[in-house]
Amino acid sequence: MAMAMTIRNAASRRAMNPISADFSLRSMSSWWKNVEPAPKDPILGVTEAFLADPSPDKVNVGVGAYRDDNGKPVVLECVREAERRIAGSSFMEYLPMGGSVKMVEETLKLAYGDDSEFIKDKRIAAVQALSGTGACRLFADFQKRFCPGSQIYIPVPTWSNHHNIWRDADVPQKTYHYYHPETKGLNFSGLMDDVKNAPEGSFFLLHACAHNPTGVDPTDEQWREISQLFKAKKHFAFFDMAYQGFASGDPARDAKSIRIFLEDGHHIGISQSYAKNMGLYGQRVGCLSVLCEDEKQAVTVKSQLQQLARPMYSNPPLHGAQIVSTILGDPELKSLWLKEVKIMADRIIGMRTTLRESLEKLGSPLSWEHVTKQWANTKTG
Amino acid sequence: MDSVFSKVDRAPEDPILGVTVAYNNDPSPAKINLGVGAYRTEEGKPLVLDVVRRAEQQLVNDPSRVKEYIPIVGLADFNKLSAKLILGGDSPAIQESRVATIQCLSGTGSLRVGAEFLKKHYHQSVIYIPKPTWGNHPKVFNLAGLSVEYYRYYDPATRGLDFQGLLEDLGGAPSGAIVLLHACAHNPTGVDPTSEQWEQIRQLMRSKSLLPFFDSAYQGFASGSLDTDAHSVRTFVADGGECLIAQSYAKNMGLYGERVGALSIVCKSADVASKVESQVKLVVRPMYSSPPIHGASIVATILKSSEMYNDWTIELKGMADRIISMRKQLFEALQAKGTPGDWSHIIKQIGMFTFTGLNKEQVAFMTKEFHIYMTSDGRISMAGLSSKTVPHLVDAIHAAVTRVG
């Protein structure tokens, strides 16, 4: 019945509207006939499947978004308060291409330290980016444009989207050993061998803390050795820091790897994200920074980063940046945020302990030591 | 340690944003900023629509709202409503599920994602863009890997459309070439084809299988009517053919900084549209994973409430009417002053911008002597004018035209 109506309507539309009678458009086939259906995203596809499942017992341990003990998403109190202050109070003008200056300033303090000499000396080229993905992509595009012969060394395994990002930026990829399946820990010697064997001046992607997906991080001592070897090989260290504060509960602690590299004199790059540690996932707030030789070079590099952002989205979104600068710019809200981050981190650490103990209590023949060990590295010196 | 980036050169200042920088540095009380591509009230202030404020409050007061990642393609209801807005609620393309709509970062983001999709999946990688066009257009397409060609558009002699040139250039394009079309209120000239001319363009393009890529940044903002401003897009879609459309809510909802927009790809069948959408996701994921939630939530809130939608159309008409009134006032004042030349293009052109026809030297003179800030191509933003400042601008134009070459 519905089909007949559709045909009838289409026919009468054609009769009334001579346009579509011209040029046999209806007999032309689609330009997109040969487009294949794309595979589902391996991570986001899990959530799609979860949502489609009617079972009351379902558990989603797929996507990396925080849940409270009732399995519900959480909006931080400091964020709610920031939003209350923002609503109705500001214009919605375009941000500069490099994003919110205030938000970037506060964000650099988190990564480089409140009293960082690099901030004081204005040596950091930094732009607001579309969360961690956007920061990594901007850096990859920048790397392609200004170090066109270079490759990126990516750990095995890593967040699957890292491969997509550098591939779409047209930067060739190599891998380096990272995870040791037997120990379920770090393959430190494999990692150091790969770093040593890479050609001088190679670009390496490092997870600053809470390695995704393994949860395995080098110890501070191991980071120092990695840094020394990087120095000898003149490698470029690009840190993806998506979990600062969220890993140990202490933002300064979680930035230790970065601070070690800075102390050793490396000119690093950093991608920072507020998706997890401020729960701002869908707001897409992050920051890309590149430490330069001097202020002049920082201005130059920033201008070029902006040239890459302009033809991608012109300027970054306002709202999430306003939330971040409202919180970090107000001592009370900042202190509330630090408390709330610690609560989230502690709950997750508690879940590790509970999971491990429960499996052991059930008499599992396998070792589940790694479940808590993968966190424990963030606590040891 | 030496930086690996020590050979990087400083990028040039953005020509448009540089105007505002210079304006801000000028202490003169008579200064006028006509470079800005954002709406200003009669008092020269930015405007947040009342209906936007209401939507904002609704969102902030709703404790059930969370900040989770939204899908790669964006908010579902935002996408549906955006397609409806540009194509019309009764569009067969929508009813037949032939439209893939993806929330993107305003117009720029929609253009870039669409261009990247075309580079990957379309058999032609050349795009024809009008001369002149928005300065960012060629950069967007180049970075997506498309090659850019120009078609004639603006005729400086008439300050109108070079229609013959346009037809010749599009007629000479290779079969299947992509063609960028400004849906209405061409930026920077304000010159639009008439509906008869649009019909000729459509027929020519379909006969050569040229693929239309519409940039719709001013729907409702140009004439004051959402339907009128969508007319060019809708006639193309009505003929059953395929096209791409980049929509922006920056101006018509005043959501500039929130980066809200949508890319719609109108396909031949629902099956194709679904496959196309899945491939667009692969473009988005390595760029920014998923779009920002806030601005799209505001838009969806407004579009899905018939009351708020109505209120929006009234505020939108208010903005468009003020700009149209500024055009009229400027034109009449130039007439009254007896400024030499034909200034009728000011009222014939449409949208936020007017190509005055003033040359670089005249513009520099106006900036120096009268503190008028505008881009050196002679473009002025009508939004930056008010009834109070029209006389000063008229004095400046008059002086420039009579004293400078």
- State pLDDT tens for residues B338-388: 999 999 999 999 999 999 999 999 999 999 999 999 999 999 999 989 999
Contact A317 B105 (CB under 8 A): yes
Q: Is the pLDDT of residue B89 over 50?
A: yes
pLDDT digits (tens, 9 = 90+) for B236-248: 999 999 999 999 9
Nearest Cα residue in chain A from B141: A311
Cβ proximity of A292 and A298 under 8 Å: yes
* 144-163 of B, contacting A, C-beta below 8 A: none
> Considering only CB atoms, which chain B residues are within 8 Å of A161?
285-286, 289
Identify the residue whose tokens are 């397409």: B141
Nearest Cα residue in chain A from B115: A312
- Is the preceding peptide bond at B188 cis, omega within 30 degrees of 0? yes
Residue ranges matching CATH 3.90.1150.10 in chain B: 16-47+319-403
Q: Annotate B281-311 with b (16+ C-beta within 10 A) or e (fewer).
A: bbbbbbbbbbbbbbbbbbbbbbbebeebeeb
Nearest Cα residue in chain A from B268: A30
Percent of chain B surpassing pLDDT 70: 99
pLDDT digits (tens, 9 = 90+) for B279-326: 999 999 999 999 999 999 999 999 999 999 999 999 999 999 999 999
Q: Encoding tokens for residue B195?
A: 């509906």
Give the per-residue pLDDT at B18: 78
- Name the amino acid, one letter, at A94: Y
> Considering only CB atoms, which chain A residues are within 8 Å of B267?
30, 32
CA A31 to chain centre: 35
Nearest Cα residue in chain B from A73: B66
Between chain A and chain B, the number of residue pairs with CB atoms below 8 A apart is 252
The closest CB to that of A319, out of B53, B121, B258, belongs to B258
Give the per-residue pLDDT at B175: 96
Query: Rounded to an integer, what distance in angstroms lies between the CA atom of residue A314 and that of residue B140?
Result: 10
Q: What is the end-to-end Cα distance of chain B in Å, rounded?
A: 55
Reported as a pLDDT band with limits 50, 70 and 90, residue B9 is confident
- B368 reaches A (C-beta below 8 A): no
Give the per-residue pLDDT at A14: 45
Q: How many CA atoms lie within 13 A of A351 on its CB side?
A: 14
Nearest Cα residue in chain B from A3: B96
- B196 reaches A (C-beta below 8 A): no
Residue A297 forms part of a structural domain: yes
Give the per-residue pLDDT at B349: 93
- Positions of A annotated as catalytic residues are 159, 240, 276
Contact A95 B257 (CB under 8 A): yes
Strand partners, B354: B380
| CA distances, B199 to each of A36, B90, B190, B203, B215 (Å) | 33, 21, 19, 6, 18
Residue A299 forms part of a structural domain: yes
Residue A274 forms part of a structural domain: yes
- Three-state DSSP state, B104: strand
- Positions of B annotated as catalytic residues are 134, 215, 251
Contact B14 A97 (CB under 8 A): yes
| CA distances, A209 to each of B93, B157, B264 (Å) | 48, 63, 39
ipTM of the complex as predicted? 0.90
Residue ranges matching CATH 3.40.640.10 in chain B: 69-304
Give the per-residue pLDDT at A64: 78
Class at the top of the CATH hierarchy for domain B69-304: alpha beta
* Mean pLDDT (whole number) for B68-72: 89
- Three-state DSSP state, A264: coil
* Mean pLDDT (whole number) for B44-58: 94
Q: Encoding tokens for residue A345?
A: 């981190």
Q: What is the end-to-end Cα distance of chain A in Å, rounded?
A: 73
pLDDT digits (tens, 9 = 90+) for A171-188: 999 999 999 999 899 999
- Three-state DSSP state, A154: strand
The whole model's pTM is what?
Answer: 0.91
> Considering only CB atoms, which chain A residues are within 8 Å of B1?
231, 234, 265-267
Cβ proximity of A90 and A97 under 8 Å: no
Domain containing A170 — which CATH number?
Answer: 3.40.640.10
Q: Is the pLDDT of residue B331 over 90?
A: yes
Question: Residue A172: which domain range?
Answer: 80-332
- A28 reaches B (C-beta below 8 A): yes
Total domains in chain A come to 1
Cβ proximity of B11 and B372 under 8 Å: no
Cβ proximity of B170 and B204 under 8 Å: yes
Give the per-residue pLDDT at A32: 66
Q: Encoding tokens for residue B163?
A: 């229609």
The closest CB to that of B238, out of A19, A303, A310, belongs to A19
- Name the amino acid, one letter, at A272: Q
Name, in order, each residue with C-beta under 8 angstroms of A1's C-beta and a sequence gap of 6 or more.
none
Give the per-residue pLDDT at A72: 81
Whole-number CA gyration radius for chain A: 24
* Mean pLDDT (whole number) for B114-133: 96
pLDDT along chain A (381 residues), means of 10: 44 44 50 72 80 89 82 90 91 92 98 97 97 98 94 97 97 97 94 98 97 95 98 97 94 97 97 96 96 93 94 96 97 97 93 92 89 62 33
Q: What is the DSSP string of B131-172?
A: ES--THHHHHHHHTT-EEEEEE-EETTTTEE-HHHHHHHHHT
> Considering only CB atoms, which chain B residues are within 8 Å of A169?
286
- B403 reaches A (C-beta below 8 A): no
CATH code of the domain made up of B16-47+319-403 = 3.90.1150.10
* 202-231 of B, contacting A, C-beta below 8 A: 202-203, 206-207, 209, 211
User: Nearest CA to B84 among B219, B190, B242?
Assistant: B219
Q: How many other CB atoms sit within 10 Å of the CB of residue B195?
A: 11
Give the per-residue pLDDT at B52: 96
Give the per-residue pLDDT at B264: 98
pLDDT digits (tens, 9 = 90+) for B145-177: 999 999 999 999 999 999 999 999 999 999 999
Cα angle B294, B295, B299 (rounded to 5 degrees) comes to 120
- Three-state DSSP state, B194: coil
Give the per-residue pLDDT at A28: 56
Q: Parallel, antiparallel, or unpaired for β B243-248 and B261-266?
A: antiparallel
